[in-house]
Amino acid sequence: MTEAIRVGVVGAGFFGTMIAGACAAHDAFAVTAVADALPDAAQRLAEPLGARVHADAAALAADDDVDLVVVATPNHLHAEPAIAGLRAGKHVFVEKPLGIDASSISAILAAARDASGRLVVGHVMRAFPGVRRMVAQARGGELGTVLEAAGARRRLVHVPADPGDWWKLDRRRSGGELLHEIHELDLVVWALGEPIDVTGVSGAPLAHGEHVVDSVTETVLRTPSGALGRHSVSTSAHRAEWWFRISGTTASVEADFRQGTVTRFVDGAATEVTGVFDDEASNDSLREAARAAQAYNTGGPGPLWMRTAVTCELDEIAAAVRGTSTTLTELPASAALTALRSNASAAEDRR
């Protein structure tokens, strides 16, 4: 049998707790260590898993009983534990986005270039089976010459009247909505490759407690081949959309995440319909979730489709560590850097 990948989790908040539990339940992983700035939080997470507690990320990275460092801190705190893990010779998984500024992203990439371990980024939607098949069709020429890719996540998000000091609403810690909800932009960049031009427009500001955030961001990008990418994210859309599409000269494929389907189109007609996930119960869960209001900061383990998504991601993380898949290691920083360029373009447009 293949030995379990020994996991050290940095960050014992919501995501760290969720992924530690998922790793513990997955045959490929064993959680052996936890670190958090709050010792009590680290102890609460580590104790039921039989894991040891470390004072900080550097001590955890130095642990000989850790193969993979999982960075589950808030977005603005990714660089230090990621670099510590890479310099210690560990594989490192960083929850998306890789970083929220160019300097921290560059520092992580520099450490990864010199590292013996692999840098894996948590672009979970790449791991959805239907999405992987879409990109494989594009790369395999089954769509003809790829002309464009596009994605959207537009919905109305209900934020508590008093969200408190919640880091996801603080641009200084989250990077803003485009970076924090980077999934579909990542799929566009993953499908097309590095862009040479990026234009962004943002606005429709909404106040949440002491924070004022832009609720709509639109991004357009162009690649060296001339293929175009488009992306839209909104937290104020009463008419919800959640989709990803790749179009070529002979066919298009589109994932409608609200319907749980992936459809192939030829000359405007649907020629094949499959699932986003490979089990219909998870696709049904996607459809059910689409009918519910979306709210921030509610906690809980999430619906079936989300748990399935995490399992798919863990499968890909294990494959990345073992060198059998590049799904989560390709273009690790491209989406975050594209988002930063879009935000910079939007800021320049306001002047």
Give the pLDDT of residue 205. 81
Q: Which residue has the tokens 């619906």?
A: 303
pLDDT of residue 163: 64
Predicted confidence at residue 302, as pLDDT, reads 81
Task: Give dist(CA 168, CA 177) in Å, integer.
Answer: 8
- Reading the block at residue 216, the tokens are 């709509």
Report the C-alpha gap between 327 and 93 in whole angstroms: 13
CA 336 to chain centre: 10
Q: State the amino acid at position 220 in one-letter form.
A: V
Peptide bond into 97 cis (omega under 30): yes
pLDDT at 300: 60
Dihedral sign computed on CA atoms, order 162, 165, 169, 171 = positive
**Whether the Cβ atoms of residue 307 and residue 162 lie closer than 8 Å to each other:** no
Q: What pLDDT shows up at residue 86?
A: 98
Could you give the C-alpha distances from 186 to 121, 233, 242, 340, in angstroms and in order? 11, 12, 14, 12
Nearest Cα to Cα of residue 245 among 284, 316, 187:
187
Task: Please list, residue by residue across 187-222, b when 16 or more beta carbons sit within 10 angstroms of its beta carbon and e when fewer do.
Answer: bbbbbbbebeebbbebeeeeebeebebbbbbbbbbb
CA 192/CA 220 separation, integer angstroms: 12
Select from 70, 90, 83, 89 the least CA-distant residue to 111.
Answer: 83
Token pair of 25, please?
Answer: 């339940």
Backbone torsions φ then ψ of 40, nearest 5 degrees? -65, -40
User: What is the rounded end-to-end Cα distance, in angstroms, of the chain?
Assistant: 60
Question: 188, 151 in Cβ contact below 8 A?
Answer: yes
Q: pLDDT value at position 299? A: 57
Q: Strands 197-208 and 91-95, how do they pair?
A: unpaired
pLDDT of amino acid 28: 98
Q: What is the largest CA-CA distance in the chain?
A: 60
The residue type of 317 is I
SS3 assignment, position 119: strand
Per-residue model confidence as pLDDT tens for the chain (351 residues): 579 999 999 999 999 999 999 999 999 999 999 999 999 999 999 999 999 999 999 999 999 999 999 999 999 999 999 999 999 999 999 999 999 999 999 999 999 999 999 999 999 999 999 999 999 999 999 999 999 999 999 998 887 766 666 777 788 888 888 999 999 999 999 999 999 999 999 988 887 777 777 789 999 999 999 999 999 999 999 999 999 999 999 999 999 999 999 999 999 999 999 999 999 999 999 999 988 877 665 556 689 999 999 999 999 999 999 999 999 999 999 999 999 999 999 988 777
Predicted local distance difference test score (pLDDT) of residue 169: 73
DSSP secondary structure code for residue 140 in this structure = T
Q: Which string of b and e fits 237-264 if b means at least 16 CB within 10 Å?
A: beebebbbbbbbeebbbbbbbbbbbbbb
pTM equals 0.95
Q: Are 130 and 245 in contact (CB under 8 A)?
A: no
The encoded tokens of residue 286 equal 């996607």
Q: Which domains does the chain have, with CATH numbers?
A: 5-121 (3.40.50.720), 125-350 (3.30.360.10)
